Amino acid sequence: MLEPPSEKPVTIEDNVFVGGNAVVLEGVKIGKGSVVAAGAVVLEDVPSGLVVAGVPAKVKGRVEDVSQKEKISIVKSLRKK
C-alpha cells in the first residue's frame, strides 16, 4: 500500500549530513551544516550547525567551523587506523 504524499515537506538546507537509516518526520527543517546521526528519528526542527542523534533525536553537540582541507585531513587520518 502506498502512503499519500506528505502535506508538509521536509526541508534540508545546504551542507547537511543525514546518516543511514535516519528518519525525518514530515514538516521538519534541518538547518544548514547540521549532522543527523545514523538511525536518528528527528521529530522537530534542527537549528543550523548542530549534531543530533538518538530516538528521539537530541542535540549532542555543535559542528565546528572547520575548513574543507582540515575535514579531508581528518578523514584521511581515520582511514589509516
- The residue extents of the domains of the chain are 11-79
CATH of domain 11-79: 2.160.10.10
Q: Tell me the HSE value of 59 on the side-chain side, using a 13 A CA sphere.
A: 13
State the average pLDDT over residues 39-59: 95
Residue 14 pLDDT: 93
Q: Kindly report the three-state secondary structure assignment for every residue of 10-71.
A: CEECCCCEECCCCEECCCCEECCCCEECCCCEECCCECCCEEEECCCCEEEEECCCCCHHHH
For the entire predicted model, the pTM comes to 0.77
Please, which pLDDT band fits residue 63 given cuts at 50, 70 and 90? confident
